[in-house]
Amino acid sequence: MGAAEIGYIIGGFITALLVPVLILIVSNFIPAAKRNPHLLYGICAVTATLAAFIGASVGGNYADSTISWLLAEAFLYWGYRGAAKKARLLNASGQNS
């Protein structure tokens, strides 16, 4: 694996996370989205998948796109676990924000 492939994987990872991170930033100001992260992170996972494989269909390598997609999904899953834990705490205490 050369430097060009590593750069392509990192670029695909960042590209796959651009729109989902923007969605998560905007939804942070919506209290209902904080209490129900399941749907929100599902939308972000689909968006990351589309972004990763649209880049490959334009002219990239599917193996590198798959690696960057898996990294992006792992990153989103890690964030989802934290958000689900916070949502459980919010729902248990009855707070709205």
pLDDT top residue among 60 and 2: 2
pLDDT of residue 96 exceeding 70, the answer is no
Dihedral (CA of 7, 12, 15, 17) sign: negative
DSSP type of residue 94: T
**Cβ atoms within 10 Å, residue 93:** 7
**Cβ atoms within 10 Å, residue 54:** 13
**16-65 confidence digits (pLDDT tens):** 899 999 999 999 898 888 888 899 999 999 999 998 888 777 767 788 88
Whole-structure pTM value: 0.81
**Cβ atoms within 10 Å, residue 35:** 16
Place of tokens 């989103």: 76
Question: Which of 28, 64, 65, 67 lies closest to 44 in space, CA to CA?
Answer: 28
pLDDT top residue among 40 and 90: 40
Angle among Cα 56, 48, 5 to the nearest 5 degrees reads 40
Residues comprising the chain, all counted? 97
